């Protein structure tokens, strides 16, 4: 149980375009989902907390107008990287838990490459 699915697993886009990443909880409902970013050989850094039916909460230093988060249902959160630049190239991973007493489960990540 507690499966989190992420799509796409990899994407290549041109500088200046936008990319949408989907995160779904397959066998549970999640009022909260977390978006992380991971650079090579570095740890996971929390970008934002996605809240169903309300605005996302962004970590300090993360541009909310660049990384748009929409949590429209209890099983789906999306991250849109707008006007992507090469420095946005990274590994983006989402996570969610069935309830507050369960561990977070992670999707398999999305490798974004901006050319």
Partner 1 sequence: EDQVTQSPEALRLQEGESSSLNCSYTVSGLRGLFWYRQDPGKGPEFLFTLYSAGEEKEKERLKATLTKKESFLHITAPKPEDSATYLCAVQAWDGNEKLTFGTGTRLTIIP
Q: Which residues bind partner 1 (CB under 8 A)?
A: 4, 6, 32, 34, 41-46, 49, 91, 93, 95, 97, 100, 103-109, 111
Closest distance of CB 109 from partner 1, Å: 5
Of 6 and 77, the one with the shorter C-beta distance to partner 1 is 6
Of 2 and 82, the one with the shorter C-beta distance to partner 1 is 2
Report the b/e string of 67-95 with b at 16+ CB within 10 A: bbbebeeebbbbbebeebeeebbbbbbbb
Of 10 and 17, the one with the shorter C-beta distance to partner 1 is 10
The partner residues of 74 in beta bridges, in order of sequence, read: none
**Residue 88, SS3 per DSSP:** helix
């Amino acid at each position: 149980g507690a499966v989190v699915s992420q799509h796409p697993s990899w994407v290549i886009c041109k500088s200046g375009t936008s990319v949408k990443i989907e995160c779904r909880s397959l066998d549970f409902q999640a009022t909260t989902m977390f978006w992380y970013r991971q650079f090579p050989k570095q740890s996971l850094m929390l970008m934002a907390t996605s809240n169903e039916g309300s605005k996302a909460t962004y970590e300090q230093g993360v541009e909310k107008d660049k990384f748009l988060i929409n949590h429209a249902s209890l099983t789906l959160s999306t991250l849109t990287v707008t006007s992507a630049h090469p420095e946005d190239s990274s590994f983006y991973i989402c996570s969610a838990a069935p309830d507050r007493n369960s561990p977070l489960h992670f999707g398999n990540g999305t490798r974004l490459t901006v050319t």
